Amino acid sequence: MNLSTDCQSPVIVALDFNDINTAKSLVSQLKPNQCRLKVGKEMFTLLGPEWVKYLVGEGFDVFLDLKFHDIPNTVNKAVAAAAKLGVWMVNVHASGGGDMIKAAKEACLDADKSPLLTAVTILTSMDERQFVQVYSNEISIKEQVQKLALLAQNSGADGVVCSAKEAVMLRKIVNKEFQLVTPGIRPAGASLDDQKRVMTPANAISAGVDYLVIGRPITQSENPSLSLMQINDSLKG
Ligand code: C5P
């Protein structure tokens, strides 16, 4: 059984706060049927599993974005521990290999409430210069993203975390049900912050994206609930 609330919105709000009170105040302004929540390495390291359980207890679908990358047995155990928290989605680095992704998926399937498993292809912070420091210069970033997305799919992952700019390309090669989860989303006119290559929510959905990870345009807004509502409204029809 997959764990899911009745949330109809594709928006996943990235909770990137360094203190619990500010984070709780933001969460209190959001509703589980209007968005999902993402807990990343900062908040998890700061507040641990209790924070995740709190958010799940508040009724939210939680994406635990810890990007596991280790030997298959360790990742299997880590994903099993994440699933016990009741999270809706967990992720790994696709570059950890097919056996590691399969081990992660097995942990999801063994759980009482199976989270979705997504895999990060190439971090969008990687440019060509950094890419060739790690990979061969005979392959492009796009080709590597395709290769890792197919590896993830063939190894049982439910989707990938990628750039919205890669969505059209990936939609042509992956199954219809394979989920594309993308950060780097900015409503028209919003501050780009440190994001370089952004897409509006509506354009990302048109490009074939399933879930939009959005942080500061909502979390730093004077009225987070209104900003979220405007984004959700921009996706209607
Ligand atoms: O505030 P903003 O909308 O830029 O937040 C985006 C979120 O997505 C942050 O939690 C960030 O760490 C995450 N992320 C990203 N780019 C990636 C992977 C994750 O911005 N390639």
Predicted confidence at residue 1, as pLDDT, reads 39
DSSP 82-151: HHHTT-SEEEEEGGG-HHHHHHHHHHHHHSSSBPEEEEE-S-TT--HHHHHHHS-TTS-HHHHHHHHHHH
97: Cα within 13 Å, side-chain hemisphere:
7
Q: Is 156 left (phi over 0), alpha (psi -120 to 50) or beta?
A: left
DSSP state of 235: T
Q: What pTM was estimated for this model as a whole?
A: 0.95
160 lines ligand 1 (CB under 6 A): no
pLDDT 10s digits, 3-51 = 456 899 999 999 999 999 999 999 999 999 999 999 999 999 999 999 9
Whose alpha carbon is nearest atom 4 of ligand 1? Answer: 215
Tell me which of 42 and 196 has the higher pLDDT.
42
Domains and CATH numbers, the chain: 11-235 (3.20.20.70)
Q: Could you give the 3-state DSSP secondary structure of residue 2?
A: strand
Region 116-136 average pLDDT: 91
**pLDDT confidence bin for 171, thresholds 50/70/90:** very high
Could you give the CA distance from residue 106 to residue 112 in angstroms, rounded to a whole number? 12
Active site amino acids = 67
pLDDT 10s digits, 182-193 = 999 999 999 998
